[in-house]
Amino acid sequence: MKTIAEFMTADHKACDHKFADAEVAALDGNWSEAGIAFNAFNDNMLRHFVTEEDLLFPALISAGGPSGPVQMMRMEHDQIRELLSQMTAAVSAKNTQHYSGLSETILMVMQQHNHKEENILYPIMDQILAQQREALMGRLLTV
Amino acid sequence: MQIASLSTEQAPPISVPLRYFAAAPVFLIFSALLLALSGSNPFADLRSGAQIAATHHITLGVMAMVMLGAIQQMLPVVIGSPMPASRIVAWLTFLPLIAGVLLFSASFMLGKMFMLDWAWTLLGLSFLIFIAASLLSLWRATAQNATKTAIFLSIISLAGAVSLGLLLAHGYAAGLPLSYPLLATAHISLALGGWVLLLIIGVSYQVVPMFQLTPNYPKWMTSALAPALFIVLLLKLGLLPFETMPSWSGFFVECLFWLLACSFAVITLKLQSQRRRRVPDAPLSFFRLGMASLLLAAIFSLAALIWPQYSDNLRTLSALAYILGFALSLIQGMLYKIVPFLIWFHLFRGGIKAIKAGVPNMKEIIPEPLMWRHLWLQCATLLTALMAPWSTEVAYLTMLGLLLQGILLAYAIYIGIRVYRHTLKRLMQA
C-alpha cells in the first residue's frame, strides 16, 4: 500500500503536468486549449487543497501533530488560491503576458510549498497517522 | 524531524541575501577594469598580477558573494535548517569580504605585497564565520538528502581552498620559501573542482526538476556523484607532493574527475531536454550554456593531457570556459530566478492587504527582454574569451563584455530593488 507521502507526491506531479500543458498553450496563444488545461490544473489544485485541509490536516492535529506547520501550509494554500484566481482572470482576458508572469510566479511558490510538504510534512503524517493510514487512504481516493 | 522548519519566518530578512546580490555585479565591473589596466594582454598569462587580481574579483567578489547570499536563503527550504543569527552573520561576512577582495587586488595591482596580510585576515574572518555558520546549520538539520551531502562537501572543499589561499597570501606577503606552484594547484583544485562544482551539483539536484519540471536526477547520480568527486579531488591532492609517482596516476585521476563532471553536465542537459515546461526561459538558457561550457572545459583539459606540448594554451582555455562559461552563466541565470522570486515572496507576505493592493508578478519585477539581452552578451563574451589569449584586440572585447554584463546585472538588480521599495510604499499607504 502507498504511503501518504507517495500518494500526495504523485498528486503534486499530476498538478505539475497540467500546469505545464496550460502554460505551453497560453504562451502559444492557443486559448481554447489553454482554457481547458488551466481549468484542469485549477480543479486539481483546489481538490488537492481540500484533501489536505478537510482530511489530512485535521487528522494530523487531532492525533497530536504540530499545528504551526499546518497553519503555515494553509497560509501558502491561500497565496496559491489567490494566484489561481488571478490566472483565471488572465485566461478570460486572453492576456498572454500577464498569464506568463503569473505562471512563472505560481510555479516557484508551488514548488517551494510542495518541497516542504513532501520532505517534511507528509513524512510526519505517515509517522503520526500510521495506525489510521489505511482508513485515511480509502477516504483520500474518494475526495 | 525538523518541524519548525516549515515556517517562512525562518527565511532571513530580504536585506540579507539582496546585499550580496547587489554587490556581486560591481565586482564584475571591477574585474573588467582591472584587466583593462594590466597594460598587456592579461589572458595570455593567467598568472600575471592583473589576472590574479581580476580572477579573484570574479571568484570571491562575484561567485562567493552570490553563494553567501544564496546559501543563507536556501538552507531553510532545502534542508529545513536556517543559518544561525542571520543578520550578524550577514554583516560579519559581507563587509570583510568586500574589503578583503579590494585589498587583495590592490596589493597585486600596486605591487605592495605586505597588503596581502590585511587582505587575508579579512577574507579569513569572512569565510571562517560563513563556514562555521553553514556547518552548524547543516549539523542541526535532520533532513537527509543528496543536496545536503553535496553542500557539506562543497563547504569542506571551500575551507581547504581558503586555508591554502591564506597560506599563499601570507607566504607572498612575508616572502616565505613555500612550494608556490604546488600550493596554488591544490588551492585551485579545491576551489573550482570542489567548492564551485559540488555546490552547483547540490543546488542543481533541487532547482533543475523544480524550475523546469524535468524528471529527477537518477538515484545513482544523487547518491554517488558528489562523494565520488570529493574522493577524486582528495586523491589528486594526495598525489601532488609526490613528484616520483608514475605520471599515469595523475593522468588517471584527472581523467576520472572530468568524466564525473561531464556525466553531471550530460545528465543535466538530458533532463532539461525532457522538461515538461516547454516555454522560452532565459535562466534555463543560461543554465544550458553553463553545462555546455563545463563540457568544453573538460574537453580542453583532457586534450591537454593527450597533447602535453599544447598544455599551457589548452589549460588556459579550460579555465576560461570553466569560470566565465560554466560558473558565471549558472550564477547569473540563477540570480534572474532568485531575485524576482525573493522580492515577490517578501511583498506577498503582506497577506490579504498586499494581495488587494496588488503585488507585481515575477516577470514584472525584472523585465524578461533584459535577461535575454544579457544571455546573448554572455555568449559573445565567452566566445571572445576563448580567442583572447592570442589577440589583444579580442581581449579588449572580452573585457568590454564583462564590463557590460556587470552593468546590465547591476541595473537588473537595481530595477528589482526599486520595484520592491515602490510596492512596499504603496502597500504601507493602502
* ipTM score of complex: 0.89
Helices and strands counted in chain B (H then E): 16, 0
Please check whether residue B199 lies inside any domain of the structure.
yes
B252 domain residue, yes or no: yes
Task: For the full predicted model, state whether its pTM sits above 0.90.
Answer: yes
In A, minimum Cα distance to B145 occurs at A119
CB neighbour list of residue B57: distance below 8 Å, 6 or more residues apart: B27, B28, B30, B31, B34, B101, B105
- Model pLDDT, residue B285: 98
Q: What mean pLDDT is predicted for residues B360-376?
A: 95
CA dihedral B314, B315, B317, B319 (to 10 degrees): 170
Contact A101 B8 (CB under 8 A): no
* CATH 1.10.286.10 assigned to A4-140: no
Q: What is the CA radius of gyration of chain A?
A: 16
Is B341 among the domain residues?
no
Mean pLDDT (chain B, rounded): 92
How distant is the Cα of B145 from the closest Cα of chain A, in angstroms? 9
Q: What share of chain B is helix, strand, coil (3-state, %, to 5)?
A: 85, 0, 15
pLDDT score at B244: 63
CB contact under 8 A, A105 and B337: no
Residue B255 placed within a domain: yes
pLDDT at site B420:
95
Q: What is the pLDDT of residue B6?
A: 46
Q: How confident is the model at residue B4 (pLDDT cuts 50, 70, 90)?
A: very low
pLDDT at B3: 40
Mark residue B179 as left, alpha or beta (left: phi above 0; alpha: psi -120 to 50; beta: remaining).
beta
Number of residues that make up chain A? 143
Contact A17 B364 (CB under 8 A): no
B147 close to A (CB below 8 A) = no
Interchain pair B277, A24: CB under 8 A = yes
Q: Is residue B99 part of a domain?
A: no
pLDDT digits (tens, 9 = 90+) for B369-405: 999 999 999 999 999 999 999 999 999 999 999 999 9
Q: What is the dihedral of CA A128, A132, A135, A141, to 10 degrees?
A: 0
Domain contains B64: no
| C-alpha cell recorded at residue B262 | 561531464
| Parent domain of B162 | 152-278
Nearest to B312 by CA among B45, B40, B35, B41: B45
Does some domain include residue B184? yes
Please report, as a single letter, which amino acid is at residue A110. Answer: M
Read off the pLDDT of each residue in B214-242 and give the average, rounded to a whole number: 94
Mean local confidence (pLDDT), B47-58: 93
All residues of chain B having their beta carbon less than 8 Å from the beta carbon of residue A108 are 211, 337, 341, 344, 362
B10 in contact with A, Cβ within 8 Å: no
Of B4, B345, B364, the CB nearest to A101: B364
Q: Is residue B158 part of a domain?
A: yes
Q: Where is average pLDDT lowest: A62-76, A99-113, B6-20? A: B6-20
Instruction: Give residue ranges of A with CB < 8 Å to any B CB.
Output: 16-17, 19-20, 23-24, 27, 66, 68-69, 72-73, 76, 79, 82, 97-98, 100-102, 104-105, 107-109, 111-112, 115-116, 119-121, 123-124, 127
How far CA A79 is from CA of A62, A74, A86, in Å, comes to 25, 9, 11
> A72, B8: Cβ pair inside 8 Å?
yes
Chain A residues near residue B279 by CB distance under 8 angstroms: 23-24, 27, 100
Average pLDDT value for chain A: 92
Whether B33 and B403 have beta carbons less than 8 Å apart is answered as yes
Packing angle of the helix pair B15-36, B86-110 (nearest 10 deg): 10
Interface test with A, best of B9, B362, B364, B371 (most A CBs within 10 A): B362
How far is B352 from B373, CA to CA, in rounded Å?
36
Inter-chain residue contact B363 with A104, CB threshold 8 Å: yes
- Structural domains of chain B, count: 1
SS3 label, residue B245: coil
Dihedral of CA atoms B164, B165, B168, B172 in degrees, nearest 10, equals: -160
Alpha helices in A1-130 (DSSP H): 4-27, 31-50, 57-62, 67-93, 96-116, 122-128
Angular region, A94: left φ>0, alpha ψ -120 to 50, beta rest: left
